[in-house]
Chain A
Amino acid sequence: MAMSIVHRATGIANYAGTALLVLWLVAAAWGEGPLDSINALYGSWFGQLVLFGYTWSLTHHMLGGIRHYVWDFILGMEAGQREMLSWANLAASTALTLAIWTLFVWIK
């Protein structure tokens, strides 16, 4: 049940987060100056914190979406299975986010 609202919340976060992606692309198209500003902003500790949250939000919403495709085939809807899928969703999104940041940011 709680995961339903999380799917919605991460959807809203991704809705806003797309603006961050587009801002980066527009800055790159605009010129070196704007791109440097965006890189400084996104590279700051606060920027990194937001991007880390955005990464988790995207992966969680993607896995939650896949869960909906599973449900579309009337699978995993029983009590117990639903809860298991919710916890798997949460664990997998957290693990994926940490894996992405470990591999591509922290040890890069």
Chain B
Amino acid sequence: MHDDKISRQTIADPRSRYGNAKASTRHFITQRLTGVSNIVFLLLLLFVVVRLAGEDRAEMVATIGSAWIGLPLALLLGIVTIHMRNGMRDILEDYFRGSAYGLYMTLNTLFCLFIAVAGIGAILKLVFWG
């Protein structure tokens, strides 16, 4: 799909089936759903950061280590990384095609996966092992 030469005519013609018909709808819905979740995440993040900015480790463990705060934070951070990957896909689709798109998309996925694993791992460590 991304190897095709995309011209103005291709985009304007409904019969050209420009874009990925099934996946694009899913990306649209995913971005809307994860976006709503991110608003909740920002409120929780504001609470956590205001409470813990500059505090020592004992305070971090006391707040994030509480399962009622830590587990939702971990879940929401995971959803944030889905939104990150999806949003970056929108940008990459606009500027790259073919193998370049594939390469950057792979890097995008790896970065978001790394962020998710490191962040959720750190939070779970604080919750379960202090």
B-binding residues in A (CB < 8 A): 8, 11-12, 14-15, 18-19, 21-22, 25-26, 28-32, 35-36, 39, 42-43, 58-59, 62, 65-66, 68-69, 72, 100, 104-105, 108
Instruction: Say whether B125 faces chain A, with CB atoms less than 8 Å apart.
Output: yes
- Chain A residue nearest to B74 in the complex (CB): A25
A49 to B84, CA, bound (A): 23
Would B60 and A21 count as touching, CB distance under 8 A?
no
The contact of B122 among A19, A28, A108, by CB within 8 Å, is: A28
The 4 closest A-B pairs by CB, nearest first: A29-B122, A22-B119, A25-B122, A28-B60
A79 to B28, CA, bound (A): 24
A37 to B106, CA, bound (A): 32
Chain A contacts for B32, CB-based, 8 A: 68-69, 72
Chain A contacts for B119, CB-based, 8 A: 18, 21-22, 25-26
The contact of A12 among B50, B60, B61, B91, by CB within 8 Å, is: B91
- Chain B residue nearest to A19 in the complex (CB): B115
The interface centre, meaning the residue of A29, A35, A108 with most chain B CB atoms within 10 A of its CB, is A29
Would B126 and A28 count as touching, CB distance under 8 A?
yes
Would B54 and A43 count as touching, CB distance under 8 A?
yes
CB contacts between A and B, total, < 8 Å? 76
Would B115 and A35 count as touching, CB distance under 8 A?
no
Chain B contacts for A35, CB-based, 8 A: 56-57, 60
A11 to B112, CA, bound (A): 14
Instruction: Say whether B87 faces chain A, with CB atoms less than 8 Å apart.
Output: yes
Would B64 and A58 count as touching, CB distance under 8 A?
no
B94 CB to closest chain A CB (Å) equals 9
Extra A-B contacts (19), CB below 8 Å, given A15-B84, A18-B80, A18-B84: A11-B88, A14-B84, A22-B115, A22-B118, A22-B122, A25-B64, A25-B119, A26-B122, A28-B122, A29-B123, A29-B125, A29-B126, A42-B53, A65-B38, A66-B39, A68-B32, A68-B35, A105-B53, A108-B50
Binary contact readout B31-55 vs A (1 if CB under 8 angstroms, 0 otherwise): 0100100110010011000100110
Chain B contacts for A15, CB-based, 8 A: 84, 87-88
Chain B contacts for A28, CB-based, 8 A: 57, 60-61, 64, 122, 126
Given contacts A18-B115, A100-B46, contact A29 B87 (CB under 8 A): no
